[in-house]
Amino acid sequence: MKFTKYNFLSGLTRNLESLDFKRPTDIQYKCIPPILKGEDVLAIAQTGTGKTAAFAIPVIQLLCSSRVSIESGSMRCLVMVPTHELAIQVAKVFKDLSGGLGFKVIGLYGGVEQDPQIAHLKNGVDVLVATPGRMFDLAAQGHLSFKSVEILILDEADHMLERGFYNDMQQLVQRLPRRRQTLFFSATIDEKIKDLAYGLVKHAVRIQISPKDPVSKNIDHAVAYIEMDDKRFFLERIIKENPESKILVFVRTKVRAERVTKALERVGITSQTIHGDKDQGQRSQVMEDFRSGANKILIATDVSARGIDIPSVEFVVNYDLPQEAENYVHRVGRTGRGTNRGKAISFCSSEEREVLDEIESYLDKPVAVMTINKDDYEATIDISEAAKHDWKSLIEEELALEEQPAKKRKKRK
């Protein structure tokens, strides 16, 4: 079925065509009808399947079809997301799809001045895309009202609830109109989160796309057994063998992110980092550089694993395996999005074998092993520019120099 077959407003149909939306993905095809009917929806689908558009398209249709006045500081649709980057991205999807329809959308998140955000809220908005911290802060200051909310959307909902926001969500629900539509979207869900989700929706239509295999079929993912001290050599090799590729590298901590980018810098490779210690301006610029291709190597912590739609990421490298097994799905899902194919390579050291076991248990199947023979392993280290700066190599060189005079003396005898 094509989008042109839906009975959408002409402006929305026009925007879909200009954005090259031709046919709905599976999640869009299954979600659009019940949302248009006003039903609650609990949707679980792999990353990269078009979940944001699955709720944005019908919400724009619903709100534009019934114009009402909006109170100052209020909104008709509230979209809750866990990170700044996701708030920016989801707001952009709504803006792109609603262009020319007189539809007001605001992204609300911390790390930036609140006064401009407050000014935008004064006349009310159709859609507010918000992170919990800034939203609850402005609500406490009296700048936000929830009286006009017709639709509540929790995007990456499992992450929202597991990060300790559930009590905040319960308080928020108490302040929302009882007669509202609730949409719950995520890539992963467990039994605990499922129970919490059902406490927020009423008689929800449950939609699951490929629940038995949370990793998209467009992603070729494998694990390579590489010791912790050798990972930088293999990352260097991947980057140099794929000079034109956009590569997203995940590490476990902010400190690791900076160390990896410094290691790459020493061998002449330019990269950037994104993590919680950077202010919002820095994070936004880094993301824009990566999206545009001005920078092709991004070193990230899990702050970037959730829901970020970065075009044309050819490789995801799990430099460190994630602490939470389900984050593996979100990380590798940054590649192979839409109809594109992608590759994900995980480096697993001896210390991380138990983590790999947890990931495979979560996936309910083993991750394919990328076999590296001993000679190839050693050659990767030997040919690396980093090896020349490695302390072990420096010591070996020094010892070799010390031995040379002794050898010459022996020859003279």
Check residue 116 and give its pLDDT: 92
Q: What confidence tens digit (pLDDT) does each residue in 133-172 have?
A: 899 999 999 999 999 999 999 988 777 766 667 777 778 8
How far apart, in whole angstroms, are the C-alpha atoms of residue 327 and residue 119?
37
How far apart, in whole angstroms, are the C-alpha atoms of residue 247 and residue 298?
7
Domain boundary residue, one of 179, 208, 237: 208
- Please tell me whether residues 169 and 40 are part of one structural domain: yes
- Please tell me whether residues 229 and 359 are part of one structural domain: yes
- Please tell me whether residues 163 and 292 are part of one structural domain: no
Check residue 257 and give its pLDDT: 93
- Please tell me whether residues 165 and 245 are part of one structural domain: no
Tokens 């092709």 belong to which residue?
A: 296
The residue with greater pLDDT, 101 or 394, is 101
Whether residue 104 contacts residue 127, with contact meaning beta carbons closer than 8 Å, is answered with yes
Contacts of 72 (CB under 8 A, 6+ apart): 121, 122, 123, 124, 145
Check residue 327 and give its pLDDT: 85
Average pLDDT estimate for 69-77: 90
Whether residue 240 contacts residue 391, with contact meaning beta carbons closer than 8 Å, is answered with no
State which residues form the domain around 94. Answer: 3-208
| 251 pLDDT more than 90 | yes
| 391 pLDDT more than 70 | no
DSSP letter for each residue of 279-318: -HHHHHHHHHHHHHTS--EEEE-GGGTSS---TT--EEEE
Given pLDDT bands bounded at 50, 70 and 90, which one contains residue 312? confident
- Please tell me whether residues 26 and 149 are part of one structural domain: yes
| 187 pLDDT more than 90 | no
**In degrees rounded to 5, what are phi and psi of residue 162?**
-75, -15
Q: Is the pTM of this model over 0.75?
A: no
- Please tell me whether residues 101 and 191 are part of one structural domain: yes
- Please tell me whether residues 204 and 238 are part of one structural domain: no
Domain boundary residue, one of 208, 234, 251: 208
> Is 381 part of a structural domain of the chain?
no
The H or E element spanning position 361 is helix 353-363
Q: What confidence tens digit (pLDDT) does each residue in 75-115 have?
A: 999 999 988 888 999 999 999 999 999 999 999 998 889 99
Tell me the percentage of the chain whose pLDDT exceeds 70: 87
Check residue 259 and give its pLDDT: 94
Whether residue 46 contacts residue 210, with contact meaning beta carbons closer than 8 Å, is answered with yes
- Please tell me whether residues 139 and 264 are part of one structural domain: no
> Is 214 part of a structural domain of the chain?
no
- Please tell me whether residues 180 and 232 are part of one structural domain: no
The side-by-side arrangement of strands in the sheet containing 342-348 is 272-274, 297-300, 247-250, 315-318, 342-348, 219-225, 368-369
Contacts of 34 (CB under 8 A, 6+ apart): 41, 205, 207
- Please tell me whether residues 169 and 231 are part of one structural domain: no
> Is 402 part of a structural domain of the chain?
no
How far apart, in whole angstroms, are the C-alpha atoms of residue 83 and residue 304?
8
> Rounded mean pLDDT of the chain?
86
Check residue 272 and give its pLDDT: 96
The residue with greater pLDDT, 193 or 61, is 61
Whether residue 130 contacts residue 73, with contact meaning beta carbons closer than 8 Å, is answered with no
Check residue 410 and give its pLDDT: 47
| 203 pLDDT more than 90 | no
Residue 280 is part of a domain; what is its CATH number?
Answer: 3.40.50.300
Domain boundary residue, one of 157, 188, 208: 208
**The total number of structural domains that make up the chain:** 2
Given pLDDT bands bounded at 50, 70 and 90, which one contains residue 210? low
| 217 pLDDT more than 90 | no
| 409 pLDDT more than 80 | no
Given pLDDT bands bounded at 50, 70 and 90, which one contains residue 408? very low
- Please tell me whether residues 133 and 163 are part of one structural domain: yes
Q: What confidence tens digit (pLDDT) does each residue in 48-57 have?
A: 788 999 999 9
Helices (H), 187-324: 191-198, 231-241, 254-266, 280-292
- Please tell me whether residues 166 and 268 are part of one structural domain: no
What is the sign, positive or negative, of the torsion defined by CA atoms of 100, 26, 358, 272?
A: negative
Average pLDDT estimate for 260-280: 91
Tokens 């810098």 belong to which residue?
A: 265
Whether residue 82 contacts residue 130, with contact meaning beta carbons closer than 8 Å, is answered with no
Check residue 94 and give its pLDDT: 97
